[in-house]
Structure 1
């Protein structure tokens, strides 16, 4: 008898198979028991009929939530379920009995669920979130590999801040000071000078005391750097990339998105060619919409980003922010000295910035001056300056916050549900 996963069931219609599963839930009448089964690959209903085997029926009725077992049954079609199949159970072999499982089908508070995150991951919606997260990662690798990108692993421990901020986690590196990385970008620039188009994917850390639904202390960043690429070319790559992963999620995770109640029409519109507006025009738009709290030179807050993106009902690029509010490494605008060649991509529906990128300063003297202007230690950035001394070229890059992007794709209320074990201002357990 073939042992399969729930996900493989459509390939075995009419066959009797064996599946290792946990009991997610159950209900029964006097004659039939319906077992909601999960195995990590998916969820399916198992039907146990009393008339077929009374002892097995009694076993089924006595099972507790999250008991593990091997289930033997025939795969049949079920047009009433979103999965489209169910299992006519012919045998149950209990592996490990579970009793008093703390997360029952009733409503639980968020803090309780977060305290039991190691178990909450088993629920249908959290399972769906993790499946979509995995698909975004898989599609990213596929997209970049098809376009000749090389993965570069940047260090997590660094001697300085890529963006010159104080929102860093400090640690001791033997007898030196070190910080947990907030970005691998500077190292990716070195990689781009060696390998052309490169990317990294790993955890990043921000010691930012924020409690909003958009923020995590530890999150995963996808970062991309491209040699001989200027800013407008980078924006085209960002459009192509985001369209690719969204459409891949629609194609390969439609069932999971439906479980999460996502409005698929919102995602079906993501086809590239995103609106592009200047920072100047964004300020004008916000003032016209009654946002009197923001003026030229200010950074945008959540309400401002939401208003802009919802106006277009699509992701929108906001281009050319003021030099004073952006990091030292961004290339100056060719016609203005008060803005830089950069763009943030803002997602609609209140999810905020999901991509930030820029063309990088590639002139040695300008970069050296920028480092001094920002009060940074030139010695700490000597290696970064070397990249401009030896064969410098125009280059651009961008970073995408994975959890915030997955939250937007899935329609999740909070980014904490899009990472297996979130680290928040008040949470480092479990």
Structure 2
């Protein structure tokens, strides 16, 4: 008799198996007990018929409390009423671990309570579904990058400088030197791209930004590719193909999770169609001004309401191109068609989820890099290694970064980014 996971049930219909699980809920009468079960791979129902089991087994079934752990022996049966399509006709139950007074009950709980019990809240069906989508985005990302000739490079988390200046950084001591938690691995990836051609990283980054919005975390995961011999227009094509690929895989491989979350799959299907629309920053400002947004003018960065309105004009993610150079980092290449702007783009997600990708073509000219380092008030010695990249065989190169948690929020359709990380770090939350 084989021990299986619930997700393997389709391969064992009408066969006797063993399943290890937790009880999420139960209901029983004098003759039958229904056990709602989970094992980490899926959710499942166990049916215990009093007439088919010993009195001891039936009494055990009736006495189980929420989140008790059990080992079940039974026969897998097809069941069209089940989300998974199967259930288990139970013959034997072994109680592995009792659970008394589980704090998260089927009633409504406040957000603070649930966040204080995040270590338990992860067990719920909705949180389980969100983490499944997160995992699929990660899996599909590695697959896309591997299939397109990228090599993974891991930049350091402790750095001596910042790619975007020294604001919003977590400071620490590195023996007798100052160090910071990384807010991006980009500069290191540019160096790696000069060695390997196409590289990407996927790891944690940190922003000491005192923001409480639903779009911000203090610690989050970034996927950042860098590509040598790639100019801005080609980079945009890579970005949209990557996003469409990820959405396609989430639709194809997370059917039950998306159903649990009530996500509109037909809407997600629209996001798999490329190319995505593009709009110039200047035209986006005009669009906003013509529609009652008098709080923004050329040279300003977009806020959440602005991005939401611009995205609402389209049915797909949209690229906003060529932002003013004064609001962008020092490493972005000047736009030859408008020297006030740089060759960059932000990809704005539909449905009010805001920016999910930021990217640009990087400067490959030593004199311009040095001029910008001085202009932005950065320490030339701290960036000496980076400026070397534009001295020794510089080439056109581009890259971008996508925040994993924002992508998860968008594709799952959840309102707040705090539910997209297993243990989110927020402005006022370091527990659990």
Give TM-score, length-normalised by structure 1: 0.99
Cα contact 2:74–2:90 (8 A) shared by 1: yes
Alignment of 1:310 with 2:329, yes or no, is: no
**What whole-Å deviation, never above 9, does each CA across 1:236-285 have from its counterpart, x for those lacking one?**
00011000011100000011011011111111111221110000010011
Residue 57 of structure 1 corresponds to: 58
Quote the offset at 1:165 in angstroms: 3.9
Distance in 2 (CA, whole Å) between partners of 1:337 and 1:386 is 25
**What whole-Å deviation, never above 9, does each CA across 1:318-343 have from its counterpart, x for those lacking one?**
00000000000000001221000000
Quote the offset at 1:59 in angstroms: 1.1
Distance in 2 (CA, whole Å) between partners of 1:100 and 1:5 is 27
Residue 45 of structure 1 corresponds to: 45
Alignment of 1:158 with 2:148, yes or no, is: no
Residue 277 of structure 1 corresponds to: 279
Residue 123 of structure 1 corresponds to: 124
Residue 353 of structure 2 corresponds to: 351
Distance in 2 (CA, whole Å) between partners of 1:295 and 1:265 is 36
Residue 412 of structure 1 corresponds to: 414
Q: Provide the aligned C-alpha RMSD in A.
A: 0.7
Quote the offset at 1:30 in angstroms: 2.6
**Matched positions, count:** 430
Quote the offset at 1:346 in angstroms: 0.3
Residue 336 of structure 1 corresponds to: 338
Residue 143 of structure 1 corresponds to: 144
Residue 6 of structure 1 corresponds to: 6
Distance in 2 (CA, whole Å) between partners of 1:398 and 1:337 is 21
Gaps of 5+ in 1: none
Distance in 1 (CA, whole Å) between partners of 2:97 and 2:297 is 62
Quote the offset at 1:148 in angstroms: 1.1
SS in structure 2 at match of 1:388: coil
Distance in 1 (CA, whole Å) between partners of 2:127 and 2:166 is 34
Residue 34 of structure 2 corresponds to: 34
Residue 19 of structure 2 corresponds to: 19
Residue 402 of structure 2 corresponds to: 400
Distance in 2 (CA, whole Å) between partners of 1:307 and 1:78 is 45
**What whole-Å deviation, never above 9, does each CA across 1:81-128 have from its counterpart, x for those lacking one?**
221111111110111111111111111000000000000000000001
Quote the offset at 1:26 in angstroms: 1.0
Distance in 1 (CA, whole Å) between partners of 2:29 and 2:133 is 35
Residue 208 of structure 2 corresponds to: 207
Residue 369 of structure 1 corresponds to: 371
Distance in 1 (CA, whole Å) between partners of 2:29 and 2:149 is 58
Quote the offset at 1:413 in angstroms: 1.1
Residue 321 of structure 1 corresponds to: 323
Residue 102 of structure 1 corresponds to: 103
Residue 422 of structure 1 corresponds to: 424
SS in structure 2 at match of 1:385: helix
**What whole-Å deviation, never above 9, does each CA across 1:23-53 have from its counterpart, x for those lacking one?**
0111122321110111111110001111212
Give TM-score, length-normalised by structure 2: 0.99
SS in structure 1 at match of 2:224: strand
Cα contact 2:270–2:315 (8 A) shared by 1: no
After TM superposition, list the pairs within 5 Å mapping 1:183-262 onto structure 2: 183-262=184-263
